């Protein structure tokens, strides 16, 4: 039986429709308009695309949006001064500094300056700590999107064997912690695999739910998974271009082979990717509600 395709495009669309209604009610009942600011340093083409997508989505949903495009030569001191100013702006509920930053700027020091109540990426140590103890204000966007894909696709996580391949601070570590929590869409037994893992296939073949975020094309092959597994592929890897110049993208999982064994699987593109910006909007609305004392 062919695998169910878990469409991030469809789930993201569903969540955005819910958000539109929630934002409209916040404006009508409480005179609260969620506000998001994006800060981009330099002219990295991929970052410009990402920031443009966030700005476009904000406007579509009715979120107030500001954008700062700063030159490559912006100093760390100048960037931090801007963030401190935005921390004090009551119209702004979420601050997103687009990564990566130029090499002369210390990303960690910059992210630590963001007010944790406006840290809609969920990267500040205060928010990471709250996630660890199961009382988060914000969940990191991509891991939160993964959890929503599982919940809204009807995947049972309670007691499931979840194997996470990858231990980044952005995806691997937070999704492992999210899936450990004794909550809906979680309550799983979690194993994390990484570059020092011996016999990775031994672990991945035990997975009821396999979450892969390693940044290597087709790193997970069909012989590394069991029949009936649910696969969430976070990877986006460019392996070439078509004759007309379009990028050829594949995930960290050998999709065509693994889908023959999987119960459900996310495609690349169109799987996890669309969820990240959507969950950023979810966090921005939550930040506005927190600021207004509505949660």
Taking only the tens place, the pLDDT of each residue in 48-92 is 888 888 999 999 999 999 999 999 999 999 999 999 999 999 999
Residues 6+ positions from 25 with CB-CB distance below 8 Å: none
pLDDT at 81: 98
Taking only the tens place, the pLDDT of each residue in 94-114 is 999 999 999 999 999 999 999
Active site annotation includes 158: no
Whether residue 195 is preceded by a cis peptide bond, meaning omega within 30 degrees of 0, is no
Taking only the tens place, the pLDDT of each residue in 116-154 is 999 999 999 999 999 999 999 999 999 999 999 999 999
Which of 98, 147, 148, 181 is catalytic? The answer is 98
Give ∠ CA 186-175-60 in degrees, rounded to 5. Answer: 95
Residue 244 banded pLDDT, cuts 50, 70, 90: confident
Active site annotation includes 27: no
Active site annotation includes 98: yes
Give the domains, in start order, of the chain with CATH numbers: 31-116 (3.40.50.10860), 141-273 (3.40.50.720)
Q: Is the model's pTM score more than 0.85?
A: yes
pLDDT at 103: 95
Taking only the tens place, the pLDDT of each residue in 157-210 is 999 999 999 999 999 999 999 999 999 999 999 999 999 999 999 999 999 999
Which of 117, 118, 121, 218 is catalytic? The answer is 121
pLDDT at 1 over 80: no
pLDDT at 50: 84
Average pLDDT in the 273-277 region? 95
């Amino acid at each position: 039986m062919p695998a169910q395709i878990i469409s991030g495009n469809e789930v993201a669309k569903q969540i955005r429709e819910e958000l539109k209604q929630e934002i409209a009610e916040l404006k009508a009942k409480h005179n609260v308009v969620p506000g998001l600011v994006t800060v981009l340093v330099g002219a990295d083409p991929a970052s410009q695309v990402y920031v443009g997508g966030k700005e476009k989505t904000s406007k579509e949903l009715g979120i107030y949006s500001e954008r700062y495009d700063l030159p490559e030569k912006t100093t760390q001191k100048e960037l931090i001064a801007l963030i401190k100013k935005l921390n004090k702006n009551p119209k702004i509920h979420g601050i997103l500094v687009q990564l990566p930053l130029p090499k002369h700027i210390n990303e960690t020091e910059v992210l630590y300056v963001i007010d944790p109540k406006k840290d809609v990426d969920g990267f500040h140590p205060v928010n990471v700590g709250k996630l660890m103890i199961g009382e988060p204000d914000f969940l990191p966007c991509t891991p939160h999107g993964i959890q929503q894909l599982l919940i809204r696709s009807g995947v049972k996580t309670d007691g499931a064997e979840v194997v996470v391949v990858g231990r980044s601070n952005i995806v691997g570590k937070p999704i492992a912690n999210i899936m450990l929590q004794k909550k809906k869409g979680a309550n799983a037994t979690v194993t994390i695999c990484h570059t020092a893992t011996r016999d990775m296939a031994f672990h991945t073949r035990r997975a009821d739910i396999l979450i892969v975020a390693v940044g290597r094309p087709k790193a997970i092959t069909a012989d590394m998974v069991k029949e009936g597994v649910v696969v969430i592929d976070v990877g986006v890897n460019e392996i070439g271009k078509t004759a007309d110049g379009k990028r050829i993208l594949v995930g960290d999982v050998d999709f065509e082979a693994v889908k023959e064994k999987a119960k459900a699987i996310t495609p690349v593109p169109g799987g996890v990717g669309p969820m990240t910006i959507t969950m950023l909007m979810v966090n921005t609305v939550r930040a506005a509600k927190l600021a207004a004392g509505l949660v």
